[in-house]
Amino acid sequence: MLNVGGRTAYTADHEQFRETVRKLFERELVPNLDRWEHEGIVDRDFWLKCGEAGLLCPQVPEQYGGLGLDFGYAAIVDEELWYSGSTAGLPLHTDIAADYLVDYASEELKQAWLPKMVSGEAIAAIAMTEPGAGSDLQGVRTSARRDGNHYVINGSKTYITNGQNADIVIVVAKTDPTLGAKGISLILVEADREGFKRGRNLDKIGQHSADTSELFFEDVRVPITNCIGAEGQGFAYLMNQLPQERLSVAIGAQAAAQRAFDEAVKFVKERQAFGKTIFDQQNTKFVLADIKTRLQVGWAHLDWALARHIAGELDQFEGAATKLWHTEMQWEVVDACLQLHGGAGYMNEYPIARLWRDARVQRIYGGTSEIMKLVVSRSI
């Protein structure tokens, strides 16, 4: 169980919500983890149960079926999800996709989709990355051409989380290729639109139960009213939401690093070598002491970042620095913890193997560590 003693970001109400999250995950997530990893996708039924328990999109206003709560409640779901060893696409749905609708969409789109996202009836994805455009979103080539009162969308996306399960996709597309960043718009595409196709569920190094897909758009017609916010403002909206997206990744990194540490402590206290436990070896104690210190610093920093974000004060530079530090720390910690497992760490039957695999992409998606350094450098 994730030890949350001494945390400063949460109130008693937050911690009561955490108990709800833990009970549902213990009952519905943990027993299914291995099967979902093997099948490469999380059951739709799990999403519905999360929705019924209030775990999806708790920040959505009550008039759209949500609980109208602060981001701290979503952060708790992220912490418990990652600590459990799961990479299900709940954070993408809740922390990233939902707020594009809450903050920018028309009342019609909000009424149509937010209640279903809260209940788990509709799963959301956001399609940014393309085969030729990753961190440089201005380089996207997917187009949305006006044709009367419709857009006609053509292009392809890749590495899209929730791609197999998604009922709606927020597509980053060029509505005016001549305007650069000012020609990018966000357009909601329903998965049952003619011309929309899902590619294969991609075979990844880790995060196996998080369905990740290629998506194809071939003359997909959607109404002009499916544009989220103003046409041509998509890039600005993406930049506005990045601090929360990057904070969400950092939260998962911190929780997963803590789980790796807890697994390593348990293992070295049980395993014998040279007549005593591995824990009793001085090197082991030094390694664990270093990790515990990093985790202590990490939790304090995360609470600081959470408090600033809930207050609306976390800027793009702080968000980038938060993701950079926590994901780099996560990788160093899980790798050191796998090393403490010895050969057992390379066996998939031990949780540390999954934690290690799942950690690698954290330094890539949501903006690579190199891009995070570039962003932070702009504030200097």
Q: Which of 275, 10, 15 is nearest to 1 (CA)?
A: 15
CB atoms under 10 Å from CB of 248, counted, come to: 23
Q: Is 245 a catalytic residue?
A: yes
Residue 367 phi/psi, 5-degree rounding, is 105, 120
Rounded-to-integer distance, Cα 55 and Cα 49, Å = 9
Run of H or E including 155: strand 150-161
Asked whether 218 and 291 are in contact (CB, 8 A), the reply is: no
Rounded-to-integer distance, Cα 86 and Cα 356, Å = 12
**Which one of 245, 328, 332, 370 is the catalytic residue?**
245
Output Rg (C-alpha) for the chain, integer angstroms: 21
Residues in contact with 176: Cβ distance below 8 Å, sequence separation at least 6, in sequence order: 182, 183, 232
Rounded-to-integer distance, Cα 57 and Cα 71, Å = 9
DSSP, collapsed to helix, strand or coil, labels residue 55 as coil
Rounded-to-integer distance, Cα 351 and Cα 83, Å = 11
Which residue is associated with the tokens 């403490």? 340
Cα–Cα distances in angstroms (integers) from residue 81 to residues 88, 169, 198, 306, 315, in the given order? 8, 23, 26, 17, 25
DSSP string, 206-218: S-TTS-EEEEEEE
Rounded-to-integer distance, Cα 216 and Cα 174, Å = 15
Run of H or E including 291: helix 282-310
The amino acid at residue 63 is Q
Run of H or E including 221: strand 212-223
Asked whether 9 and 306 are in contact (CB, 8 A), the reply is: yes
Residues in contact with 282: Cβ distance below 8 Å, sequence separation at least 6, in sequence order: none
Active-site residue set? 245
